[in-house]
Amino acid sequence: MSDLKLPQGAPEEVVTAAHVREIDLAPFGHTGTLSLITLDNGFDHNRPNTFGPNSLAALNEAITVAEASPSVAIAITGKPFIFAAGADLSGISFLSDTKQALAIGKLGHDVFRRFGESKKPTFAFVNGLALGGGLEVALHCKYRSVASTAFTGLPEVFLGLVPGWGGATILPKLIGPANAVQVIILNALNNNTMMKAKDALALGVADVVFEPSDFLENSIKFAASVLNGSKKIERADHTKDEAAWSQAIAVGQGAVAKKYGGAEIPQAIKALNLIAAARTNTLGAGFDAEDIDLASLAMSNPLRASLYAFNLIQKKRKKVEGAPKAALARKVAKVGVVGAGLMASQLALIMLRNLKVPVVITDLDQERVDKGLAYIRGELAKLVEKKRMSAESAARLGSLVSGSTDKAIFADASFVIEAIFEELELKKSLFVELEKIVSIECVLATNTSSLSVTKMSEVMTNPERLIGFHFFNPVAVMPLLEIARTPATDDITTATAVSIGKTLKKTMVIVKDSPAFVVNRLLTRFMGEITDAIDEGTPPDIADAAMRPLGLPMTSLELLGLVGPGVAHHVAKTLNKNLGERYRISPTMQAFVDNGVKSFYLKNESGVQSINPAALALLKTGTSPSTAEQVRIRALSALASEARMMLDEGVVSTASEIDICMLLGCGWPLHLGGILPYLDRTGISEEVCSQRFHQPGVASLA
C-alpha cells in the first residue's frame, strides 16, 4: 500500500481504524458469514470518521482480510451515529507538489474501488452521516442500506473540489444524470444541502432505509435476502439516453451561471464535465479524470480560500473569542421583547423556539401587539404544515407567548431585548423606563444596527447590564450575531448573552461598541462607493455590475432594495456623524427616501428584473463617470482601508473575526475565503494599507 506522507507542518492525521468481524448469516436466512468492516476513529460522535492516508491504508488492510476470509460477502459500516465524513482535508493547504495531490486522489480510488471490483457481493450499511468520501465509499459497494436519521451528500463543489473518489463517475451511472446534477451541483450550490434518507431512497442512492434502533440487524437481514435471492435490486441503464444527459448538463450549467452573479466556479464546471463524460467513460477512465481534476483544484487558491473559510466557520461556531467563563451566565427563565414589528416578532419567535421559556412582547397599542402575536403563531403553524414541528409542540410554544401594551409585563423577565425605531433618544428613554420595572439581575439588550450602545447606557442606573445584541434579517436564517460590549458591560451580562446566542445556534463575534459594529460599517462603506460613483456620473448598470465578478449573492443596488433606502440612508448618516466624510450622504439616496422609492429595481410576475423608472428619474448624476473596473478597485480599496481602521481601533481583536462577520453577515462568497484573504491575494491590502491582514499562506498558495 502507498507510503504517502503529508508535507511537514501539516496536522497529524486522526486515524480511522477499520475493524473486521465475521457475522454468521444463518439466523438471518442465509448460509456462511458476512465480513463486516466497522470504521471507528476512537472518538465519540462529535468527531466523525475521516479518511487520510493512514486511514485509507487501514481500510485497505481490512478489505484484504475480508477478501481472504471464507465469508460470502463483505459489508462496511461506521461507529454509532457516524458512517464517514469524507476525506481528511486538514493537510490539503500544506500540499506544494501536484504529484502528491495526484497520489492522494489515486490512493482513495485504489482502496475504494476494491469494493466495486470484489468477487464477493459488497454492502454499505450507512448508519449515520455520510459525506463526500464517506458517501463515495458506499457508492463503490454494490448495495446500500441507510438509516432513517442519516444525512448524506457530496459537498465537494461547495468546498471548491469535485467528488474525486468515484462519486462524479459512479453516481450518474447509478441514478441518472439529472439526479446526479441535483446531488453534485444543485445541492452544493444551494448552501451545501444534504440528502435526508428518504431523499437518498427516492433518488436511488439508497436501496433500503431502516430505523436506527435496529438498523444493523435489518441491514444484515437485507444483505442475506439479496444473497439468497429473495430480494432483487434492479438497476436501470442510464447511459443510453444521450438527450437526457445533455438536458441535465444544461440545467447544471444554468445553475452555475446564475450562482454568484455569473462569477466563474471552476470546480462546478469540472464536476459537470466529469458527469457528462461518465455516460461513455469506463469506471477506470472516469476515476483517472477525477484524479486529474482533484489534483488541479487541490493546488489552486480557490480551494485554499474555501477551506480557510469553511474551517473558520466551524471554529467560530464552537468558540467565541473573548467570551467570559460560561459559568457566569445567568439562567434565563423569561424573555421580554420591546416591539411587535417584523424584526421584533422574529426575535420573539427564535427565542420561543430555542429557549422554550415564556416570551412576552409589547408595543404602543393592542393592534400592533395582536399583529405580532398573530405572526408568531402563524409561523408556528407553517412549521407544523411543513412537518418540521408537531402540532403538540406548536400548541405548547404558542401557549408560552403573550403580549401587552404595558411594560409591567417584563417585571419578572430575565432578559429583555428592544427592537424599536432606530432613534437614540427613544432607546435611551426606554432603558431608563425598563430599569424601573425589571429586577436588578435582568439583562437588557438592544438590537440596534448602528447606534451607540454606550450612549444608551450612560443614562442608566446600572449600565453594566446593557449589551448590544445585533441580529441580521431574516433572523431565523442568518447565522451571525454581533455582541457589542460597552466599557461598562460586565462579564455576567456578556456571558448570559453568549449563552443565549449558543442556545439560538448563532455564530457570535464579540465586538467593541462602535458605530455600526462590523458588518454594517463595512457594507455601508462599500455601498457608499457604488452610490458615489453613480452620483458622479457612472451609469447605474455599470456601477452596480462592478462587483459581479466576485460572485457576491446580490449586487449593491439589489441589496439596497432588500435593506431599504431608508435604513441604508439612516445608517450612512449615523456613520457620517460619527466617523466623518468618508461616509458621504448620497443625494440620490436622500431623493429616494424623500420620494418614497423603495428599490432601484422592480420585478414582474415572472421574476424578471428591470430598472424602476421612479428611481431612474431621481438620479443625481455628475460628469465624472468611472469604468466597472475603476468602481470595483475603488470599493475594494475602501473596504481594505476601513478594515484596517477597525483593527487599529480594536473593534475586533483579529482579522479572522472580520472575515467571519462578512462570510456569515453579508454572504461573502466562501470560494473567496473571507474578505481579508481576498484583499491580501489581490495585493489591495498592501497597496492601501502597506501591509497584509493575514500571514502569507492563509487561504492561498502565497
Q: Encode burial over 546-582: b for 16+ CB neighbours within 10 A, e otherwise.
A: bbbebbbebbbbbbbbebebebbbbbbebbbeebeee
What is the C-alpha to C-alpha distance for residues 137 and 170, in angstroms, rounded to an integer?
Answer: 11
The helix-helix angle for 342-355 and 491-503 (nearest 10°) equals: 80
Phi, psi (rounded to 5 degrees) for 499: -60, -45
What is the C-alpha to C-alpha distance for residues 399 and 381, in angstroms, rounded to an integer?
Answer: 13
Q: What is the mean pLDDT of residues 453-479?
A: 96
683: left (phi over 0), alpha (psi -120 to 50) or beta: left
**Which pLDDT band holds residue 698 (cuts at 50, 70, 90)?**
confident
Handedness of CA 351, 356, 357, 358 (dihedral sign): positive
Contact 464, 441 (CB under 8 A): no
Cell of 507: 455564530
**Which pLDDT band holds residue 346 (cuts at 50, 70, 90)?**
very high
Contact 184, 271 (CB under 8 A): yes
Residue 98, pLDDT > 90, answer: no
Q: Tell which residue, 106, 104, 108, 109, has the closest CA to residue 91.
A: 104
**For 82-91, 134-143, 503-512, 644-653, which range has the lowest pLDDT when averaged over its residues?**
82-91
**Which pLDDT band holds residue 572 (cuts at 50, 70, 90)?**
very high
The per-residue pLDDT for 696 is 83
The per-residue pLDDT for 116 is 97
DSSP conformational letter for 325: P
Summarize pLDDT for 269-303 with one digit per residue, the tens.
999 999 999 999 999 999 999 999 999 998 888 88
159 CA to centre of own chain: 11
Residue 261, pLDDT > 80, answer: no
Q: In what order do the strands lie in the sheet with 151-153?
A: 82-84, 129-131, 151-153, 195-196
Number of H helices, E strands in the chain: 29, 20
The per-residue pLDDT for 3 is 61
H-only helix segments in 164-300: 167-175, 177-181, 187-189, 197-203, 215-227, 242-258, 266-278, 283-298
Q: Tell which residue, 440, 120, 575, 491, has the closest CA to residue 322.
A: 491
What is the C-alpha to C-alpha distance for residues 263 and 157, in angstroms, rounded to an integer?
Answer: 14
**Which pLDDT band holds residue 26 (cuts at 50, 70, 90)?**
very high
Residue 193, pLDDT > 60, answer: yes
Q: Tell which residue, 363, 391, 366, has the closest CA to residue 377.
A: 391
Is 164 or 555 the better-scoring residue by pLDDT? 164
C-alpha pair distances (Å), 364 with each of 337, 412, 484: 13, 20, 27
575 CA to centre of own chain: 29
C-alpha pair distances (Å), 36 with each of 20, 59, 63, 103: 6, 12, 10, 28
The helix-helix angle for 556-563 and 519-535 (nearest 10°) equals: 120
Residue type, 233: I
- pTM here is 0.86
Is 420 or 604 the better-scoring residue by pLDDT? 420
Average pLDDT score over the chain: 93
Residue type, 547: M
Residue 45, pLDDT > 80, answer: no
What is the C-alpha to C-alpha distance for residues 349 and 337, in angstroms, rounded to an integer?
Answer: 10
What is the C-alpha to C-alpha distance for residues 398 and 403, in angstroms, rounded to an integer?
Answer: 12
Summarize pLDDT for 297-331 with one digit per residue, the tens.
988 888 888 889 988 998 898 899 999 999 999 99
**Which pLDDT band holds residue 7 (cuts at 50, 70, 90)?**
low
Q: Tell which residue, 270, 305, 307, has the closest CA to residue 682.
A: 305
Domains of the chain, each with CATH number or no CATH: 17-299 (3.90.226.10), 326-512 (3.40.50.720), 519-650 (1.10.1040.50)
What is the C-alpha to C-alpha distance for residues 343 and 336, in angstroms, rounded to an integer?
Answer: 14
C-alpha pair distances (Å), 581 with each of 573, 588, 638, 689: 10, 17, 13, 19
The per-residue pLDDT for 4 is 63
What is the C-alpha to C-alpha distance for residues 98 and 296, in angstroms, rounded to an integer?
Answer: 7
Helix (H, G, I), strand (E, B) or coil at 87: strand
